[in-house]
Structure 1
């Protein structure tokens, strides 16, 4: 327990009022991050590092309590103001190994976020072999009563076709009370989540949170496509959070620093909210993501995109198939038309394991692909193409002409996964090849949109010489981001979409560079709502591409259902629009018109969830956008699934015989005199009643498997009717 004398001997190095955090050094020079008044022993060393030969002082699953972390001492700090905000660097050093650690804490006055990154330098005389390095470590987290029993843990599972599946549990369900006083030691375990291989979000999102019953929230995000891990657990009666990039135990990452060499960790961010819970924290994280990404006109223009793939051509485009779709998409109001996979396929054995050259197929486009691209432009749309740039099929000529060093290798053998090799973009031949491809497609063909897919998990990485596989993956990841940035430097109007079999590489490292993110490959419109609703936890709304694939065999309710989910983010329109009757087509066109009327307000909006983050099985799902002028609410009501649709029961929130009405509390509008306006679809029989005193909206959707977009404001800004 901290004594008054010990507390008086501490020095304040950094503080942030909005977060309620400060960094302090004790009389021995140890630096820790926490809230004022917290017990020193519950806090963590500012940086946790394990080296080969210098592990932890208490063995277990936790990566805290490192010997080096405990020895790192303060040797200086400085704070500077720049256009990005306030930047404080705290310099630490280990007297035993000569390892120096400079941690950079970046924030803005009044903002509720803290971004951290650590730079390590070997100032000693012997090589140092890194095995793990924390980017951010924070202890002393307790509930409003100063304990742990009121904390709730939130995390997100992520999978192909099932992205952004948030879960929650009491903190004590995972970190049980062990009665430390009876044993004299902390526990050995923790709650951890980490990535596996090159799909950074193939298992989980690198985002999680702790909340308490008073509405406080601590939300964190690791920004890496090349390995990440977070852990939370108990230390001296309080919770802690430690955020890491790749490490040896989980990612085969090791980095040897010769004397004078350095290494910089991946970034991470901590967001704090003193009230408002997860909604407030995700609102702050959304604002942070906007501040830290590369600027681009697409972030405010939000053009409507038609893509020929989903439930439509499915990788089989030809001139004859595309021409009627182009005309229909243009008539519906699309502004970008993307030819997805297959446009390069001239191989009788199929294209999957033969890709790499990215030349247009002569058999698919007898008049040349330029004929189709010109047709897209003639209908007022920007042409786009699909690419999978980081892979080369095993049957591609490039697999033989590019040098071995241009590919991922392990143990001296070229890595093969699902019929593909993987390029290492640190190699000049690999990068030059892709530069030629993109400059031809964009510069010569006039393509203005590239969907960049990534359909293999290549495993832990690549070994070049003595480097570890995980270090090779991190090196490629950083080279890949640099390459993406160079494309935008050379082609400033180009729009890049990030895709990895949907949302399997949906991390902020990618999204700080590219303009859009494919949220899923999910083809069942009834299973898409929980993905669409929760996508804003992983990506800003204006970057979240949600599929809307109406079909001529759909009912009007089904058409409206698939379209409604995309209206508060980015529309990825698909479907055989050319085969629809007039009534169906007008329902599509009206959705696009509504979107164009409200899209200018999306880039400044913040997400919220009146029913909480959705569960996969929920029948009612609600996703909101809080803007300066109005609040929008997307509501889905799903009925019981049936075997014909391949569904499963949805038991979690099943109502009684009549599940047609729900009430939603919208706290930030309590007391407001407003009218709920139905923006889409006009065919809905929905009704909505607002109670300003309670801040409660009661909505009825009389038919299952229907969805609506409502506007809550003083007056409508788009075509709609009072609900």
Structure 2
């Protein structure tokens, strides 16, 4: 027998080349399947590939037993040493279709998460239609120590539902509750079922309905698998059973034909590379899995100053100017932002139009009516106050009433059935077109070099739909290639302006994938306008985005009180502070609380990129009454505790799993005789008492 084993300090992969030259994945980290029978190992397919016109040996709509996927024959393997780990390439071949398939697995020294992707090469003389190809395939997930167990009951699936103003809402259920059953009376000729648990994202909001990731925990063995799909557009993953129903399969992919309208005509000599995905198996629960993924996200991210120093950003939009900026309104806000200790000041949407601007955007030239002395005068005023200036931009759209709209040819835009796609009164630019990229380059150059901005809030409020037919094998093919062209454009921008900070915003958190976030240093997590619900989202944002990239609004209300200001500040103080609100219109006592929060944050913010997120009370949900979130370092924990809406004024949470508590200190707000909260700890339990609803506190916990 031939084995292929690759290990780093944290990760391990093991493959077996079976007697018929099929390659089986028999171990990922803690999940060891080497004890399976030869017949069972035949189900451990490493790549599912379905070619148009070939037999599909399955029942239902799942992607197991594809052709030539199940018939790929081993050719060779290669291991390259990298600065951060190792890269494994396994080459297989489909002889009939004359396809060469290369599976790539990148292992890291500092995390158990493995990056995976597949390249397919047409070595024949005929076109080959590709309907589906997995970026990662594994059968026997979470089953290495529980092969006789009922995978449908023993495994808990965590799916992060995503919605505008309701981001990263994890729901958990057993696979059986999700609809996938286990065959208890297995017979030799039994086939796999017709059922799949399918999670799909279409269009160009990569997180339009779900975050592009998930977790599966075996509650019997305490083993967890975690994954993410790194594409800024459509993707698909699914669970199904394999063989005669006794093995559990997970398939991760970018777009495919059945669910995403993607089909690729691979011509002779052509190659196709899938989107990249990340996968890992660890011993531990969902929290341990997210810890490993957090380490991985930091390893693959572009090195940048912003994620090291975590500057405080003031943005004039949320519960502030709300898209109606003028020089007169901005100056007092700039003064207030400087007074409370912000580092950046961002003028949000509206700076480019005299009045209603939604359907007229596209030229990105400042409004003389809003800025009669020129926008550069205000930008210089921001700099004079010691702040880095920023502007809002939505570079991928042109409004239907923009002066540009009728001057530009159709090949600048997404097209279907011979018509431009219109979404919410806007056309969508196609970044495959070099003229579109040149236009976008000129806009960025004007903002950075002529106006002098150091920060761009790059918003994205519409979507493409399923894709474009222009110069594409399928509409999904057009979308995928646009997605990749946009990423390349971003790379080029950062090459020219390495110190420029570009915030990734998609109506808040509708595009928080790690194709984008390998490049962007900061992610707007939500546009939630209710500060109490904003706290619910703040408490879970670091499950899908690293804390130092996760920007959360803090926006004191004009008619609020001290506790409302404190709640708002705590929402953002363990991640990235996106300060907003009409600070020039609130009283000094409440403004001082904002300044205090920023001062406290600055005392520990540079620790955040080295700390890991924890959730002592599970991942919270919108409208939970009590919830908490923390960042854990070496013998210390920064912990936020919130009391939302409800009558229960006392609450207890266990910190025992993190260590033996030595001391608990309330660090925000500072404690005085008027404080409405109490905190005690004993035997690993933290007890808090907040004497009314809508309260939050930030603690520093040290462990022996």
TM-score if structure 2 supplies the norm length?
0.94
- CA distance in 2 between partners of 1:200 and 1:12 (Å): 34
Contact map agreement 2:570 2:640 (CA 8 A) in 1 = yes
1:302 and 1:109 map into 2 onto residues whose CA distance is 26
Q: Deviations over 1:636-674 (max 9, x none)?
A: 11123xxxxxxxxxxxxxxxx6442222234121x35x2
Give me the whole-angstrom Cα distance separating, in 2, the residues matched to 1:558 and 1:428.
49
Corresponding position: 1:686 with 2:677? yes
* Aligned equivalent of 1:22, options 6, 14, 29: 14
Equivalence map 1:575-590=2 (5 Å): 575-590=581-596
Q: 1:32 aligns with which of 24, 27, 30?
A: 24
**Partner secondary structure for residue 486 of structure 1:** helix
Provide the rounded CA distance (Å) in 2 between the counterparts of 1:110 and 1:307. 35
2:161 to 137, 142, 157: 157
Measure how far apart 1:177 and its partner are.
2.7
The equivalent of 1:611 in structure 2 is 617
Q: In 1, Cα distance between the equivalents of 2:466 and 2:336? A: 44
Cα distance change on mapping 1:205 and 1:412 into 2, 3 Å: same
Partner residue in 2 for 1:181: 186
Q: 1:387 aligns with which of 386, 393, 408?
A: 393
Q: Tell me the residue number matched to 1:220.
A: 227
Counterpart position of 2:87:
87
* Aligned equivalent of 2:369, options 340, 343, 363: 363
CA distance in 2, matches of 1:288, 1:493: 23
1:5 aligns to what? none
* Whole-angstrom CA distance in 1 between matches of 2:656 and 2:340: 34
In 2, Cα distance between equivalents of 1:488 and 1:21: 34
After superposition, give the CA deviation of every residue in 1:266-296 in whole Å (9 maximum; x if it has no partner): 0001122113x11111111011001101111
Task: Tell whether the 8 Å contact from 2:616 to 2:653 is kept in structure 1 after alignment.
Answer: no
State the shift of 1:537 in Å.
Answer: 1.4
Corresponding position of 2:293 = 285
- SS of the equivalent of 1:172 reads coil
Partner of 2:29: none
Per the alignment, in what secondary structure is the counterpart of residue 512 of structure 1?
A: coil
Q: Please give the secondary structure, in 1, of the residue aligned with 2:259.
A: helix
Query: Quick check: 2:182–2:246 contact (8 Å CA) kept in 1?
Result: no
Instruction: Give the Cα–Cα distance (whole angstroms) in 1 for the partners of residues 553 and 656 of structure 2.
Output: 27
Following TM superposition, by how much is the alpha carbon of 1:375 offset from its aligned partner in structure 2, in angstroms?
1.2
The 1:152–1:19 alpha-carbon spacing in structure 2 relative to 1, beyond 3 Å, is farther
The DSSP-based 3-state class of the residue aligned with 1:601 is helix
Do the aligned residues in 2 keep the contact of 1:529 with 1:621 (CA within 8 Å)? Answer: no
Contact residue 142 and residue 224 of structure 2 kept, 8 A = no
* Distance apart, 1:427 and its partner CA: 0.8
TM-superposed CA distance for 1:238, in Å, is 2.9
In the aligned structure 2, how far is the partner of 1:442 from the partner of 1:630? Answer: 40
Distance 1:495 1:629, change over 3 A: farther
Distance 1:211 1:294 in 2: 30
> In the superposition, relative to structure 1, how do residues 55 and 336 fare at CA in structure 2: closer, same or farther (>3 Å)?
farther
- The offset of 1:321, in angstroms, is 0.8
Q: 1:26 to 1:16 in 2, by over 3 A?
A: farther
Write out per-residue CA displacement over residues 39-85 of structure 1, whole angstroms, 9 at most, x where no aligned residue.
25264311101111125211312112112111111100010101231
SS at match of 2:50: strand
Q: Quick one: which of 684, 687, 694 aligns to 1:695?
A: 684
Q: What whole-Å deviation, never above 9, does each CA across 1:290-336 have from its counterpart, x for those lacking one?
A: 11011111011110001000011110000111111110111011110
- Tell me the number of residue pairs that the alignment of Structure 1 and Structure 2 aligns: 684
Query: Are residues 1:303 and 2:331 paired?
Result: no
Structure 1 residues 217-265: Cα deviation after superposition (integer angstroms, max 9, x where no partner): 1001111112111111233423221101001111111111111100000
Contact 1:666 1:697 in 2 (8 A): no
The residue aligned with 1:570 is 576
Match of 2:484 in 1: 478
Query: Given the alignment, which residue of 435, 454, 458 partners 2:464?
Result: 458
1:12 aligns with 2:4: yes
* TM-score normalised to structure 1 length: 0.92
Q: Answer yes or no: is 1:711 the counterpart of 2:684.
A: no
Alignment RMSD: 1.7
Which residue does 2:339 correspond to in 1?
A: 331
Question: Structure 1, residues 544-595: CA drift from partner, whole Å, max 9, x if none?
Answer: 0000001231110011101101000000000111112121111010000011
Of 250, 253, 276, which aligns to 1:244? 253
| 1:272 equivalenced with 2:257 (yes/no) | no
| Alignment of 1:105 onto 2:105 | yes
Q: Distance in 2 between matches of 1:398 and 1:179?
A: 64
Structure 2: distance between partners of 1:387 and 1:600: 28
Give the Cα–Cα distance (whole angstroms) in 2 for the partners of residues 24 and 703 of structure 1: 61
Match of 1:167 among 149, 167, 171: 171
> Any idea what SS the aligned residue of 2:476 has?
helix
Match of 2:264 among 255, 258, 267: 255
Equivalent-residue separation in structure 1 for 2:537 and 2:666 (angstroms): 23
Gaps of 5+ in 1: 1-8, 641-656, 716-723
Does the residue aligned with 2:541 lie in a helix, a strand or coil? helix
Question: Residues 390-416 of structure 1: CA distance to partner in whole angstroms, max 9, x if unpaired?
Answer: 001112122233332121112232211
Does structure 1 conserve the Cα–Cα contact (< 8 Å) formed by 2:11 and 2:107?
Answer: no
Secondary structure in structure 1 of the residue aligned to 2:252: strand
- Distance, in Å, in 1 between the alignment partners of 2:35 and 2:69 is 20
8 A contact 1:660–1:703 mirrored in 2: no
Deviations 1:466-511 (A, max 9, x none): 5211111111111111111111111111001001111111101100
What secondary structure does 1:181 align onto?
coil
| SS of the residue 1:205 aligns to | coil
The answer on whether the counterparts of 2:334 and 2:382 sit within 8 Å (CA) in structure 1 is yes
Contact kept, 8 Å, 2:522 with 2:551, in 1: the verdict is yes
For 1:553 and 1:55, how far apart are their aligned partners in 2? 67
Task: Return the alpha-carbon distance in structure 1 between the equivalents of residues 131 and 550 of structure 2.
Answer: 35
Pairing 1:403–2:409 present = yes
Q: What are the equivalent positions in structure 2 for 1:31-70 lying under 5 Å apart?
A: 31-34=23-26, 35-39=32-36, 41=40, 43-70=43-70
Tell me if the contact between 2:8 and 2:86 (Cα under 8 Å) persists in the aligned partners: no
Of stretches 469-478 and 659-668 in structure 1, the one that deviates more from structure 2 is 659-668
C-alpha contact 1:402 1:429 (8 A) present in aligned 2: no
Q: Is the 8 A contact 1:13 1:25 kept in 2?
A: no
Note if contact 2:142-2:217 (Cα within 8 Å) is conserved in structure 1.
no
